[in-house]
Structure formats: C-alpha cells, structure tokens
Amino acid sequence: MLGGASAARAEWRKAESAHFVVYSDGGEDGLRAFTAKLEDFDALLRLFHGRAADQDDAARKLDVYLVRSADQLRRAFPDAVSAAGVYSAGPADIFAVAIRKNQGLADDAVLHEYVHHFMLQHYPGAYPAWLIEGYAEYFMTADFQDKKILVGAPNGARVSNLLNGFWVSSSDLLTKRPRALSPQQSALYYGQAWLLTHYMLSDPERKRRLSAFVAATARGEDALEAWPKATGVAVDDLERVMRVYLRTGILTKTLVRDLPPESPMVVTTLPPSAGDLLLEAQLAKRGPPKALGERLLKTVRADAAKYPGDRLATLTLAKVEADHGDRANADKLLADWIAAHPEDGEALRLAGESRLDAARALKDKPAEAKALIAEAARYFGRANKAQPDTYQTLYNFAKTRIDEPGFPSENTLNVLELTVQLAPQVSEIRMMAGKALAARGRYLDAYRVLEPVANNPHGGPISEAAADLLKSIREKIAAVPG
C-alpha cells in the first residue's frame, strides 16, 4: 500500500478547541460538528467526575485524525485490518485516527479510547481490566441531544454478541485481559465487561461495593477471593446475575440541559503537503518495523520531493531518513531547517533524537557516543526553551542522563515526574519514571506511577515487567518498619 502511487489528496483542515486538535480532509461543517461533539463528551466526563472545565488548562490536547476510509486509516496503522478507529500513546506522540461515519458523527471507537485517555490523565490507578474496558464501553454510547444526554445505552453489536454467543467464564472475566482470550471470546469479553460495569454502577450500594473490590485488588488481593467478599455475589453465580440484569432491560441515565455548550474553536486549512504526508508522519512516530519503515521511506522521499521548503515535508522526511534511511541526510535537512527557523522546537528535538539514536549504535566507541549524547542534550535544551514542557523533549532529555553517575539525579527525577504529568497515558514513560523513583527509595510514588502500566487491559511485556516491579516494591514497602 505504501509503495503504490499516491491517489489524489483532498484538502485537509485543522480545528483546535479547548481540549482537542482535530484534523480532517472532509468538509468544514463536519469537522466543526465532530470537534464540538468531542468537547461535549469531555464535558460529560467532567460532570460525572466532578471536574471543572478549566481545572487542567495545562493538559495536552488530544490530536484526532478523521479519515474517509479504512485505506486511509491504514496509512497510519497498516495493521488495523477491520478497526473503525485506533488510539496510540507512545513516546513520540499521543493521537487517534478514526473513520468518519456516513450517518451522524458519533464514533464509538474514538469515544471509547477517549475515556481511557481521560481516566489516565486525571484518575490513574489500579483498576481491573474488565472495569477499564467496561467503563469506556459504558460512556462511549452517550447520545447527545439538544436538551438532554442519554448515558449508558447498550451498544447493539455488544448486546447481539451477549444474546447469541458463548460467554467468557466469570473467573476469566474477573482475572484476564482481552488479549489473553481468543478473538471470539474477546468480543464477548467487551460486552460482558460493559454489562457488569453497568450493573455495578446502576445502584448506589453496588457502586460502593465495586469501590471496595477495586481497593482490595489494588492492595494485591486475589480478584476471585476479593469479589465475593466485597460484593456478596459468588463468582459461580455472577453469570446468572448478569443474564438476569440483561433481560430486565438496561436503563439509561438522562441528563437534562438547556442547550449544548458552546465550543469555541479555530479552523485553519493545512498546506497541500498534508494530503500526502500528514498520516505518514503519524506512522513514522509509531516506530514501524524495518520492512515497513523501508517502504515508508520510499513513499515519503517521493512525496516530500513535491514540496520543497515545506515544514511538514521536511520534518517528516528527516524523521524517516534518520530512522530508516540516510542519517547524514536527515541531519543536514534538520540543520538547514533550524538555521532558517532557530525556534522550531520540533525540529530541534528531532535533531537531538537523531544524535541520541546514533549514540546507541556506538557501543564499541564510548567516547564518540558520549559526545553525541551531550550534543543531543543541548538540542533538547534548546527545544525545551523554544517549546517549553513538551513531553517528548523532556523524556528524551531524561534518556541522555541514564549513564550519569548516581542516576537519577534530583533534576533528572524532577524531569521524569513532570513528563509523567504531561503524558500519563504513555506506559514507557511511566516505566522509566517508576524505576527511577524506586532507585531513589521513593517506593510509594513509584507504586502509584506503575499501577496503570501493570493493569493495562491490553497487557504485553511492559505490563508484565511493571507487575513484577510492583511485586518487588510491595515487598520493600512491607519491610519498612511502621
């Protein structure tokens, strides 16, 4: 796909609102409506959690890319075979890509992922996997009308699966992550997670018992032992209880309002290069594997050549060249661009990243590697001055300090803690900060930083590593007198 001829690209626009930056190659009316819907959804989550609209003015806005087709989505996520939307939170960027719907603008995939994003931003913690996914499913179907919002409505596909499929066992639901199940079981898992979450939230006493269960598992108690103690429902009886709840009719919460809130936003038209390179730039930030990176390089080289002097074309080509092609050419592109634009924070950061990556390849030449790392640190310092408190810059700066004596220094630790505050959704950053805090003996702080990683419902090696580290930290906390 990446190696094929480029199709004609439509004009891209960007809408920036209080909490989102939304990109689309569709019409401006649809872009404005979708951005307003996202702001309405953010306001709904804030209302449910007692959070004021301006309580976190410094929080990073979420980038959302609206595309017209699955083919476009795969320009940023080539492995997304049947997804309507995908969310990515990594060291280089945090963003979502979603396919625009023909009927209406609600997109369950984006809203589902935004619940995860919102909770990690404001309420990170050790939640069971089923509750993390069920909570997102609970809110994602919110129906926004002029004078009311309906919350908790069923998702038709999920209910159909529940009515016609073979359910995941209650013990698996309470203890496993969806990736540990077969694709067929995983589809049922999400429906059951939604149903159980809905059941527990629909009654004040059950909600209180749910909180007790979450607290118990966060302390390290076994979920199958904690569940009956906290909720009064035997694990073997849970499926029957859920089926009864499903048959009794799922009620929704109705929030009455006068009118939808106003959502001020600024819409701008992006340069023509966006049609060819905007999504490819996002793929590059995800760090594609070697074969895909080489195909991406071929595509970007051809497309960037059409737009000499264009910022997006120059920086995207420099990033892909540094990662998958000619690093010397990448460094020259960046040097020339920085000479003409000395306050471009992203270009300065990319120059630092290139040197940091080059240093990693010089394991047998420590002196040269040390010089490159020092040069990278200077670039990150300039980048932070040009564009303060950008999480990518701070994280890369912290990485230049890994080999310093007594790592981490107090300053490096402060940088890492700020980076977690700016990008709490990125597991890799939490992992580095958690290790650094533990190394300084700040075990409780390390525990809080690592909990969301260990409990990530999608799991993976980093979650397993975080869980092992948490176990070690729990033992050290227990050994402390008093």
Q: How far is Cα 53 from Cα 389, in angstroms, rounded to an integer?
A: 21
Q: Contact 94/64 with Cβ under 8 angstroms?
A: no
Cross-strand bridge partners of residue 22: 15, 64
Please give the pLDDT value at position 9: 63
Helix axes 223-231, 204-218, angle to 10 degrees: 150
Please give the pLDDT value at position 86: 92
Could you give the residue ranges of the DSSP H alpha helices within 286-386?
Answer: 290-304, 311-324, 327-340, 345-360, 366-386
Provide the phi-psi class of 208: left if phi over 0, else alpha when psi is between -120 and 50, else beta: alpha
Please give the pLDDT value at position 249: 75
Q: Which CATH number fits domain 407-482: 1.25.40, 1.20.58, 1.10.3470, 1.20.50?
A: 1.25.40
The position carrying tokens 């369950």 is: 108
Q: How far is Cα 142 from Cα 37, in angstroms, rounded to an integer?
A: 10
Q: How far is Cα 450 from Cα 473, in angstroms, rounded to an integer?
A: 10
Please give the pLDDT value at position 263: 87
Size (the chain), residues: 482
What is the pTM (predicted TM-score) of this model?
0.92
The position carrying tokens 């109705």 is: 254
What is the 3 state secondary structure string of 468-482? HHHHHHHHHHHHCCC
In this prediction, the residues of the chain whose per-residue pLDDT falls under 50 are: 1, 3-7, 103-106
Q: Contact 389/424 with Cβ under 8 angstroms?
A: no
Q: Contact 76/93 with Cβ under 8 angstroms?
A: no
Please give the pLDDT value at position 57: 64
Q: Contact 200/209 with Cβ under 8 angstroms?
A: yes
CA dihedral (267, 269, 270, 276) in degrees, to 10, reads 120
List the chain domain ranges.
Answer: 407-482
Please give the pLDDT value at position 474: 87
Q: How far is Cα 67 from Cα 170, in angstroms, rounded to an integer?
A: 38
DSSP SS3 for 405: coil
